[in-house]
């Protein structure tokens, strides 16, 4: 999911890592310093349009490396979330570093996530602008529930429950959609989807140039 929000929330805002409150945390997740920049897949590539495979092996060096690279790539692209199929790996995993409506910062990863089905009485839709690193450039208004709960496991196979409101709830839903083979533009009207793709063609060169600049900054 695109658009890096500020990590400096209002006074009293909290930081949650893997769903647990912490007293302090660096500007970038430590994994990013170990990672390298991967190419981000773009709408139309097959890996983005099919369901990702369930992860069955945990605690592997390959997973550790992928997580490092995904955090690094997310920051290079100035995103708040990144799914594995966005770096051409078709497995059920995403990373995130995103603020919620109260300015709380949420950082972490989740494997094999499943979103809770919210009771109708608890489903309140929030319409807001949404963008995607795999649809570089445009944003479109899209209504999503303003509360989400994702259940899965961490890289070692331990159960994880991540709950979000506002913009972070949108992030959890957006990234889980990716793992199910859907992009946010698939939820738009035909007209809005066509417009988003048209704007992407006009904007993507500038977006790619910005990512190259950011990659050089982070490498330095």
What is the rounded distance in angstroms from the CA atom of residue 217 to the CA atom of residue 220?
Answer: 5
Helices 61-76 and 190-219 pack at an angle, to 10 degrees, of 100
What is the rounded distance in angstroms from the CA atom of residue 84 to the CA atom of residue 152?
Answer: 15
The DSSP bridge partners found for residue 161 are: 151
By the 10 Å C-beta count (0-12 exposed, 13-18 middle, 19+ buried), 144 is classed as buried
What is the rounded distance in angstroms from the CA atom of residue 84 to the CA atom of residue 175?
Answer: 9
Q: List b or e across 198-218, with b for residues whose CB sees 16 or more CB atoms inside 10 angstroms.
A: ebbeeeeeebeeebeebbeee
Residue 175 annotated to the active site: yes
Q: Which of 175, 201, 212, 213 is catalytic?
A: 175
Which residues participate in catalysis according to the annotation? 175
């Amino acid at each position: 999911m695109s658009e890096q929000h500020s990590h400096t929330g209002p006074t009293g805002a909290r930081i949650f890592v893997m769903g647990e409150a912490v007293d302090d945390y660096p500007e970038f997740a430590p994994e990013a310093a170990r990672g390298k920049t991967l190419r981000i897949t773009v709408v139309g590539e097959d890996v983005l349009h099919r369901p990702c495979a369930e992860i069955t092996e945990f605690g592997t060096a390959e997973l550790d490396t992928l997580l490092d690279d995904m955090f690094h790539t997310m920051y290079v692209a100035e995103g708040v979330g990144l799914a594995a199929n966005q770096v051409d790996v078709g497995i059920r995993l995403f990373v995130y570093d995103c603020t919620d409506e109260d300015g709380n910062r949420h950082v972490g990863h989740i494997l094999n996530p499943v979103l809770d089905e919210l009771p109708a009485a608890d489903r309140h839709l929030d319409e807001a602008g949404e963008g995607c690193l795999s649809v570089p450039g445009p944003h479109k208004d899209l209504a999503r529930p303003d509360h989400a709960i994702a259940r899965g496991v961490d890289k070692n196979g331990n159960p994880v429950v991540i709950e979000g409101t506002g913009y972070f709830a949108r992030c959890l839903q957006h990234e889980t959609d990716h793992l199910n083979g859907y992009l946010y533009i698939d939820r738009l009207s035909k007209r809005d989807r066509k417009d988003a793709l048209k704007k992407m063609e006009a904007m993507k060169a500038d977006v790619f140039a910005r990512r190259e600049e950011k990659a050089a900054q982070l490498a330095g």
